[in-house]
Amino acid sequence: MASRILVPMDDSKYAAKALEYALDNFPDAEVSVLHVVGVPSSMMGEATGLALADDLEAAAAERAEPAFERARELARERDREIETIVGIGHPARNIIDRAEEYDTVVVGAHGADWSRVTRQFLVGNVAETVSKRAPVPVIIVR
């Protein structure tokens, strides 16, 4: 049985479902929630604001907090503890780079609130990329 689970989480309902799945199906595992804040890009206005912050890590942590609050709420409902991790950069790359520290990655089928076409054009499907490249088993939750 898996003892360490990584759950990437944004503000989507699919990410919340992935965390619920991990908490419910791996009751004895340590669950780490990863929120990745994007790097500056001409196509991603919110991420560009990070480049202007005096303290990049503090700004990234601030942007991650809403996702972490939701994650903590879901964990409290199940009387569970979670670890939270802030990543900076490309979501799929960040997840894949951290995956070998875990037994399993549990990821939502779709990311944030972008349309499917826009998301695939701009950043690709994170769940699909992670499932193809991660060095550990990946569970995709719908």
Domains of the chain: 4-141 (3.40.50.620)
- Blockwise average pLDDT, block size 10, the chain, 142 residues: 94 95 98 86 52 76 95 98 95 96 94 52 72 97 92
pLDDT value for 55: 82
pLDDT at site 39: 59
As a whole number of angstroms, the distance between CA 83 and CA 123 comes to 26
Task: Output the pLDDT for position 11.
Answer: 87
Q: Are 65 and 11 in contact (CB under 8 A)?
A: no
Tell me the longest C-alpha to C-alpha distance in the chain. Answer: 44
